[in-house]
Amino acid sequence: MRRRTFPRLTRLETLLESKRGKLLPLPPRLARLYGRLRMPSKRPYVFTNFASTVDGVVSLNVEGHKSGGDISGFSAEDRMVMGILRATADAIVIGSGTFEVDRRHLWTPGDIFPRFAPEYRAFREKLGKKGPPLNAVVSGSGNLDLSLPLFSSGKVPALVVTTPEGEKRLRKQRVPASVRIRAVRGKGRISARAVLTTVLRESPGRSILVEGGPTLIAAFYAEGLMDEQFLTLSPQLAGRGIPDQRVSLVMGKTFAPQRPLWGTLADLRRGSSHLFLRYAFP
């Protein structure tokens, strides 16, 4: 199957930019490509980032084609922005389903776009952040292989947020020194509030990036914990079958019409035919 190719990395055109938040010191090369970046001083500040097709699909949910790259067309601009957002984060929260899509990935700025790894490191240093962000994987079952690079490489500080049963399962393996396991008590699915509280106890900062998946993001929205949504709108129509197994941005929770969630458009940029949107939620 042919994949549409897009032009090489281009400078983003700023179409709308709010003045809310503190101006961050992007290194010159990133500043030329992205423009100005502001982030709220609110603590904790929780935000998420996803790519979506025009018809609202964030994952094709087909073996070998479940990643965001299949949605964005492997856009260089999208990867550049993802790296910038990861660089601002003190911790990155990853659902177990998202983790399983790319089990050898590290959730660091440089891992998503190695070309800019030096700039991302310099940016974090200017922000007073030492080392890579905490990688926090949420898994109620604890069915994770701790020999995978995120846990075993020692390149990132790793946290597993799980249940008491999940912790028992995990501790049957050799637990690397860089991995912390924290069990959350309670019935059923781990709440977003419990995830956030646990991550904030382990992270030295207060800027939390949630990279999904859609059910985890839905929980953060449902519990009123999500401050901002960064969304790359890709010029692709994915289509849906009937019935359909494809995944949208938020899954497992419904809001409208009983309790709709309305955001405010805070930023809009264009890179080739991709739109980079940013919505603030109360």
Q: Could you report the per-residue pLDDT of 158-217, keeping only the tens digit for each?
A: 999 999 999 999 999 999 999 999 999 877 789 999 999 999 999 988 999 999 889 999
Angle at 105 between CA 101 and CA 108, to 5 degrees: 130
- Rounded to two decimals, the pTM is 0.93
| Mean pLDDT in residue range 141-157 | 96
Return the pLDDT at 1.
Answer: 43
Query: What pLDDT digit, counting tens, does each position of 63-76 carry?
Result: 888 788 899 999 99
Tell which wins on pLDDT, 125 or 4.
Answer: 125
Closest listed residue to residue 227, CA positions, set 268, 266, 189: 266
Spatial CA neighbour of 95 closest among 148, 136, 66: 136
Q: 27-32+80-236+273-282: which CATH architecture? A: 3-Layer(aba) Sandwich (3.40)
Q: Residue 105 has what pLDDT?
A: 95
Q: Would you state the pLDDT for residue 7?
A: 53
Comparing 5 with 10, the larger pLDDT belongs to: 10
At 148, the amino acid letter reads: L
Instruction: Give the CA count within 13 Å in the CB-facing half-sphere of 180.
Output: 14
